[in-house]
Amino acid sequence: MTQPLQNITDLTLKELQQALSTLGEPSFRATQIHQWLFSHRAATFDEMTILSLALRKKLAESFSIHQLSAVTYQECFEEGCENPTQKILLELQDGNQVESVLIASENRMTGCVSSQIGCPLQCPFCATGRMGFRRNLTAGEITGQVYALNDLVAAREPGKALTNIVFMGMGEPLLNTDNVIEAIENLTTRNYRFCLSQKRITISTVGVIPEILRLAKSGMKTKLAVSLHSADQQKRESLMPIAARQYPLAELGKALSEYSSSTGMPVTIVYLLLRGINDSLDDAKILARFAKTFLCKINLIDYNSINNSKFKPVYSAARELFQQYLMNAGLHVTVRKSYGTTINAACGQLATVGIQNPQ
Ligand code: SF4
């Protein structure tokens, strides 16, 4: 049986340079091809008219090009919002699938992208965690999700494009940092199609300490969100056992403090409110104590149900008391609206196997 050709969009720029050097081509050719793939979104080598016919032929003999596009698509309208939330399912070259979401709010078109297929951290409240872990996504597959979401934006309003990107889809981005950073470079490089400001990109993590410190030193200007869900070590371990044990709160607090002081940017603490579990005023008190040790803002989110889950969303009265306590403590607190719950597109609901809440 003949092996399928390697998908060239799975190569990083460095790997592309090595591949071109093996073909006896200078390194600047790799830069040109990279731009054709990740800026012009070429689907065939014949489109790369800047290359000689001979090189295009040589490339087609060694590689395939698999650009992602949506295979299925669902949408739902939120109350009072004229633009729908849209979720797409994308098929990767190896047959694996991944989900991404387009969230339209007042002035923003936000693409929520995945960084892994499944997730190794297995937080019990999350559909992705229940899928198990299959593999990291390549930088090309992450970039491809952004393009596929942007297709939806362009179909709605020709000439418009995504304005923001959040790494809040399937997987833990800071367990795939190299590819996430490479994808961010594809999306922020000057003269490339998107050319987004790094400040419009948010990386959301459970708190992978060494990688937070790496970002702090990198000079990148992307935003950081940390899923905390409890400021009590024991309780956090019951909610996110693998992550909380591996990255204890005391050390996480120090890393976040280093991050905010070296970047000058606040960290967003994401706090998923779960009824009767982490929504008491005592929980708010310890959260306030933790959050006051570094520059941050707090984002409270409601739980979005998944199949066979013991967790329940908080009552709105309890959420208001919780928020008020934090605000009285001098903290900046917002409540994040959930988008796409009826199509299993909201936080913690993405999964490409049947774990989600039946609608
Ligand atoms: S919440 Fe995030 S880290 Fe936890 S299992 Fe889900 S995707 Fe992974």
- Ligand 1, atom nearest to 130 Cα: 5
**What per-residue confidence (pLDDT) applies to 244?**
97
Residues within 6 Å of ligand 1 by CB? 119, 121-123, 126, 128-129, 171-172, 206, 240, 348
Structural domains in the chain?
Answer: 6-64 (1.10.150.530), 70-343 (3.20.20.70)
Nearest CA to ligand 1 atom 5: 129
pLDDT for position 251:
98
Which three-class secondary structure string do you get for the chain?
CCCCCEEHHHCCHHHHHHHHHHCCCCHHHHHHHHHHHHCCCCCCHHHCCCCCHHHHHHHHHHEECCCCCEEEEEEECCCCCCCCEEEEEEECCCCCEEEEEEEECCCCEEEECCCEEECCCCCCCCHHHHCCEEEECCHHHHHHHHHHHHHHHHHHCCCCCCCEEEECCCCCHHHCHHHHHHHHHHHHCCCCCCCCCHHHEEEEECCCHHHHHHHHHHCCCCEEEEECCCCCHHHHHHHCHHHHHHCCHHHHHHHHHHHHHHHCCCEEEEEEEECCCCCCHHHHHHHHHHHCCCCEEEEEEECCCECCCCCCECCHHHHHHHHHHHHHCCCCEEEECCCCHHHCCCCCCCCCCCCECCC
Q: What is the pLDDT of residues 95-111, one digit of tens each?
A: 999 999 999 887 899 99
Residue nearest to atom 7 of ligand 1 (CA): 171
Catalytic residues: 99, 347
Q: Are strands 201-205 and 164-167 parallel, antiparallel or unpaired?
A: parallel
Nearest CA to ligand 1 atom 4: 123
Give the mutation target among 98, 101, 115, 121 for probing the ligand 1 site: most ligand atoms within 8 A of CB.
121
Residues 154 and 161: beta-carbon distance below 8 Å: yes
Give the pTM: 0.94
| Closest ligand 1 atom to Cα of 129 | 5
- For residue 123, the CA-to-ligand 1 centroid distance in Å is 5
* pLDDT lower than 70: segments of the chain: 1, 80, 340, 345-347, 352-359
Q: What is residue 106's predicted lDDT score, i.e. its pLDDT?
A: 77
Between the CA of 243 and the centroid of ligand 1 the distance, in Å, is 9
- pLDDT value at position 349? 73
- Identify the pLDDT of residue 346: 67
Specify the amino acid at residue 244.
Answer: A
Nearest atom in ligand 1 to 240's CA: 4
Ligand 1 atom with minimal separation from the 206 CA: 3
